[in-house]
Structure 1
Amino acid sequence: MSWGPVHFPAMGTRDTIRTAVANVVPPAGLTRALAVQAMVYAVGSGLFHAGSAVFFTRALGLSAAQVGLGLSIAAGVSLLGTVPLGGLTDRYGPQRVWIIGLVLNAALFATYPFVGGFAGFLAVVVALAAVDASTGVARQVYSINALPPAERVTAMAYQRSSLNVGFGLGAVISGVVLAVDTIEAYRGMVWFIATVILVTALFVRRLPRLPQVTRPVEPMGRLAVLRDRPFMTVSLLSGLLTAHGVLYLTVMPLWILTHTDAPKAVIAALVLLNTVLIVLLQVRVSRGADTAAGAARASRRGGLLIALFCLVLPISGVTRGLLTVVVLVAAATLLILAELIESAGTWGLTATLPPDDQRGAYVGALRLGEQVQYLIAPAGLTALGVTTGGWGWFPAAAIFVLIGLAIVPAVAWAGRTPRLGSPAPEPAMTPVP
């Protein structure tokens, strides 16, 4: 009797586990190094996001209104500075800008405990916004320049998966700080964050140095990229699709609290579901987005999934008990899939559309669309989805369908149009009959 067939399921199980691990643990080399630094940085970032509101009010003695005003002004600085600060990467190199930005970031965090009043708080958060704008562009440009085209989107997916692991660890640490709830604990928190950022800078310093990209003979002005209408159209459409974050973390919780009978604990469970699925699935669903056309299709699918979420979520307003929770989990899963796929599309566009010699300026311009979304999505989507009582979800769904359908021709338009400062493509030769 042959026992061979008995072993086949075990082999299948091992292969499944191996595949699952490969989709979470990045391969050795530069991809893994970038993922590790992302996770280390995210520990500090996750800690601050979870504990900042209490730190600002408890340790710095600011009012909620002062905190909100300061953060709004900082967001405006980030919006205005994204494009001109992105150009620093083209001038000085992504790795240098990235390291200097991290060191400045750490120094600014270290000064937080010494802030006296609103003016000092405003100075720090505005400076942090400017530094973050340049550092974010430099990080993306380095990842793109350092890796071959076929590996860029996958590497960014591994980084995002690692970021979520780091965010989770930071949130756990913040729970300890909030439980202690002393001024000394909050000061120690920001100094710990500053240390984590410096460790990240050391990681970045040890990354391979890249050859300097040849700059154009006649470089663009700092805001010239804004005249590239096809590219800026893609930036706006792609940026609007990142509203999945506002929907998940702001609008959906407000809907659950005001229009459903679900327990409040469901909100925390859905946040955990988001973290787990991103860690497990981000790399897998990012395949196929490493070309401009593939990235456009991924963005379209993301937009259509957001629209489907907008149609499923309001059902939870007319259900009761366990069925409400089931509907909420289904809606949340749709939105998570939209986030996973749309993110891959954004990375693909970031990696393929900007020209090599002006990548910093163009990556900054692509991020501008996301900044615009941050200004309009929280108020707009809350008004449509929550304030209307539910019927506003239908026009919201229609908006995301239109955006999703529009982004594919917009990317095609940008693809056949030369970037500013780049030579126009030579016309194809037609044989003379």
Structure 2
Amino acid sequence: MPVVPPAPARTLVRAQLANSVGDGVFLVTSALYFTGPVGLSPGQVGLGLTLGWAVGVLVGVPAGQLADRWGARRTAVLLAAGTGASVAAFLAVGRPTTFVLVACLYAACQTGLAAARQAALAHLVEPARRTEVRARLQAVANGGLALGAALGGLALAAQTAAAYRLVLGLDVVAFGVAAALLARLPQAGPTAGPVVAGPRLAVLRDRPYALLTALNAVMMLYLPLLSLVLPLWVARRTAAPAWLAAAVLALNTVAVLLWQVRVARGVTDPDGAVRALRRAGLLMVGACAVLATSSAATGPWLAAAVLLVGAAAQVAAEMAHGAGAWQLSFDLAPDGRHGQYQGFFGTGVPLARMLGPVLLTTLVVDGGPAGWLAFGALYAAAAWAMGPTTRWAQRSRAATAEPACAAGRAVPVP
């Protein structure tokens, strides 16, 4: 396969930066904007966002299928613009029903955009560099989130409706910039590679890949740990100062910025991916064990030190998990179907956003140290199971490819 010039990768990174700045603004300010100037109750906001991410789970595969058929570039541009439009619509909501509808549009566009962007990456970047480029996107995403959060913090400091609307307007602009950057990509889709024969939504019949996706969704449950669970744990269960939760989030952001690409460079094939995922499982068990002991630490500084050690192990697990999961998601998807396969694999993110907060606050904040250990065991079990499931997927593809190659025809997806 010819080496694609690095320009598409740079364009994807720049678009991701703009996208992430907008996300950072939204994450920091949206809850207080909706419960303040808009006048919704916390329960209404929670219900609306939960329903929205439920729609996001359903949209991933159809959006990926659209990227395969219509072109990843055009699909990504459309969905980036749609995300910006949905944020603009949030500025006009005033009733719970309208909020729910806009939240569903927002989550659908966000989930679909992620699938289309992954499909564009798969089409435009040679296989040997896909995981490295995906790691760059993740590193830039963390930096963009931090910058967006800082901008959102200005609105939090002002605490006025005008300030909230101003920074959310910046979110709209950020997604407009992302759409303009994505429009500069080369064509990525049907004309960039063959369309594999077989059922239209073949990924839904691919049992090994479906199991990989489910296991990855379990591992993705860590997403609300730093933003929700750890702040509550620090405040309710430890002697550490409350601001330490912000320090842990900053540590995570800086670590991913500095080391995610380096971690990903060591993962270049399915075997390396499985090793990285098993390493992630062990690291998460260690992180959860350390975090569990923080409640017993006497004195604020000792508790803070224990929490920082646990957070360091957690971010190491996060980076190893990312590298391994990305490699498998690309390697085990057939050419011509990267959109729908990436869309399906990416459903772990909206699932974690929808289910993770309730599950982990109940398990960890209410359950105490035993809850941390239970989550670590669950994560490690999913990580270990990735190995046998990957081998099953490889056997399935080999068994399907042999008769197809002998017959000289396209390979259908199992």
Shift of 1:280: 0.7
The answer to whether 1:203 aligns with 2:169 is: no
Provide the residue aligned with 2:206 in structure 1. Answer: 228
Shift of 1:200: 1.1
Query: Where does residue 358 of structure 1 map in the other structure?
Result: 337
Q: d(CA) in 2 for partners of 1:393 and 1:183? A: 39
Q: Deviation digits for residues 266-286 of structure 1, max 9, x if unmatched?
A: 111111111111111111111
Is 2:191 the partner of 1:214? Answer: no
Letter in 2 for 1:265: W
TM-score by length of 1: 0.87
- Quote the offset at 1:307 in angstroms: 1.3
For residue 342 of structure 1, report the CA deviation from its aligned partner: 0.5
Going from structure 1 to structure 2, the CA distance change for 1:31 and 1:86 (only over 3 Å counts) comes to: closer
Q: What is the aligned partner in structure 2 of residue 165 from structure 1? A: 143
**After the TM superposition, which segments of 4 or more aligned residues of structure 1 sit over 6 Å from their partners?**
none
1:244 to 175, 197, 222: 222
Query: Which residue of the partner structure matches residue 260 of structure 2?
Result: 282
**CA distance in structure 2 between the partners assigned to 1:173 and 1:83 by the alignment:** 33
Deviations 1:77-124 (A, max 9, x none): 111222223211111111110001112222222222222311221121
**What residue identity is the alignment partner of 2:155?**
V
- Matching of residues 29-428 of structure 1 within 5 Å: 29-210=7-188, 211-218=191-198, 220-222=199-201, 224-321=202-299, 322-418=301-397, 423-426=400-403
Shift of 1:150: 1.3
- Structure whose alpha-carbon radius of gyration is higher: 1
Which residue number corresponds to residue 412 of structure 2? none
The answer to whether the Cα contact below 8 Å between 1:238 and 1:370 also exists between their aligned partners in 2 is no
Separation (CA, whole Å) in 1 of partners of 2:405 and 2:78: 45
Residue 380 of structure 1, CA deviation: 2.8
Q: C-alpha separation between the residues in 2 aligned to 1:215 and 1:28?
A: 24
Query: Which letter does structure 1 place at the counterpart of 2:328?
Result: L
Structure 1 residues 187, 382: closer, same or farther in 2, change over 3 A? Answer: closer
**In the aligned structure 2, how far is the partner of 1:371 from the partner of 1:188?**
27
Equivalent in the alignment of 1:23: none
Q: Which moved more, 1:78-87 or 1:268-277?
A: 78-87
**In 2, Cα distance between the equivalents of 1:395 and 1:111?**
41
RMSD: 2.2
Aligned amino acid, residue 212 of structure 1: A
Q: 1:30 to 1:361 in 2, by over 3 A?
A: closer
Q: Distance in 2 between matches of 1:101 and 1:397?
A: 36
Change over 3 Å in CA distance of 1:330–1:99 after alignment to 2: same
SS at match of 1:209: coil
How far, CA to CA, are the matches of 2:279 and 2:23 in structure 1? 30
Normalization by structure 2: what TM-score?
0.90
Contact 1:236 1:370 in 2 (8 A): no
Q: Sort the Cα spacing of 1:415 and 1:371 in 2 relative to 1 into closer, same or farther, 3 A.
A: farther
Aligned with 1:351: secondary structure? helix
CA shift for structure 1 position 369: 3.7
1:152 Cα deviation (Å)? 0.9
Tell me the equivalent position of 2:410. Answer: none
5+ long unaligned stretches in structure 1: 1-26
Check 1:97–1:259 CA distance in 2 against 1; reply closer, same or farther (3 A cut): same
Aligned to 1:17: none
Q: CA deviation at 1:386?
A: 2.5
On the 8 A contact 2:220/2:348 being kept in 1, the answer is no
CA shift at 1:370, angstroms?
Answer: 4.0
Percent of residue pairs bearing the same amino acid type: 34
For 2:306, the aligned partner's letter is V
Match of 2:411 in 1: none
What secondary structure is seen at the aligned counterpart in 2 of 1:356?
A: coil
Would the aligned equivalents of 2:34 and 2:45 in 1 still touch at CA under 8 Å? yes
Show CA shifts across 1:169-213 (max 9, x none). 111111212223322222222222111111111111112233333
- Give, as a single letter, the amino acid of the residue that structure 2 aligns with 1:279: L
In 1, are the aligned partners of 2:226 and 2:245 still within 8 Å (CA)? no
Contact 2:72 2:187 survives alignment (8 Å): no
Measure, in 2, the Cα distance between the counterparts of 1:243 and 1:111.
29
Query: Would you say how many aligned residue pairs link Structure 1 and Structure 2?
Result: 399
Residues 428 and 118 of structure 1, relative CA distance in 2, 3 Å threshold: closer
Structure 2: segments with no counterpart, 5+ residues = 407-414
